[in-house]
Amino acid sequence: MALLTGILALAAPLALAQPSTWTTDSAHSEVDFTVRHLGISNVHGRFGKVTATMIYNDTDVSKSSVKATIDVTTLSTGETPRDTHLKTPDFFEVEKFPTATFTSTSVARDGSNLKVSGDLTVHGVTKPVVLDVDGPTSPVQGMDKKLHSGFSASTTINPTDFGIGSKFPDAVVSDKVTLTIDLDFAKQ
């Protein structure tokens, strides 16, 4: 019995150090964007469907990773004519590029937050980006009986770097779009 207790005591820290897999709760996850229009007002929009899988190592966050897919066809700014135009070849060309993806290349602790570097592919173009991440929140048990934790990330991109809106002057479409990514992850 003493031997068994000793083995379990030694194994407990190893079990806690194991990476865990988390997937998004789609009902509580989205990507929002803000872009300056004509230099006078901000236009807000969202991509309402994002799926992601995260491998999270809470003892060594640098061994964590995340991969996400954004359904660009769910783009919505609240104005149907604008949404229709944004889905055309002038901008996102959703018939040809219905999704955008993010794949992390590194994760690092930044004080109480995280810096997640990775490759963002939008409109068939891949560029490196760095996400400033607030999270993870303390896990809570959801109605599905799984542990849930939240992350909120942000970054700023230039849409023309991805071939989006490049035929329009900066006054019409800003060279800075702020992305805010809110993800509710459920432990698998």
* CA 115 to the chain's CA centroid: 12
Neighbouring C-beta atoms of residue 65, cutoff 10 Å: 18
Provide the pLDDT for residue 188.
95
Closest CA to 93 of 175, 166, 12: 166
| β partners of residue 100 | 70
Torsion of CA 108, 61, 26, 77, to 10 degrees: -10
Q: Would you give the DSSP letter of residue 169?
A: -
| β partners of residue 41 | 37
Provide the pLDDT for residue 5.
41
Provide the pLDDT for residue 17.
57
Average pLDDT along the chain, 188 residues, taken 10 residues at a time: 42 59 94 88 94 95 96 97 95 97 96 95 98 93 94 95 86 87 96
Q: Would you give the DSSP letter of residue 82?
A: H
Task: Tell whether pTM > 0.85.
Answer: yes
Provide the pLDDT for residue 3.
41
28 phi and psi angles, rounded to 5 deg: -130, 30
Closest CA to 31 of 151, 127, 161, 119: 151
- CA–CA distance, 117 with 143 (Å, rounded to integer): 32
Provide the pLDDT for residue 49.
96
Asked if 133 and 153 touch (Cβ cutoff 8 Å), the reply is: yes
- CA–CA distance, 151 with 2 (Å, rounded to integer): 42
Check the CA dihedral 73-75-78-79 and report its sign. negative
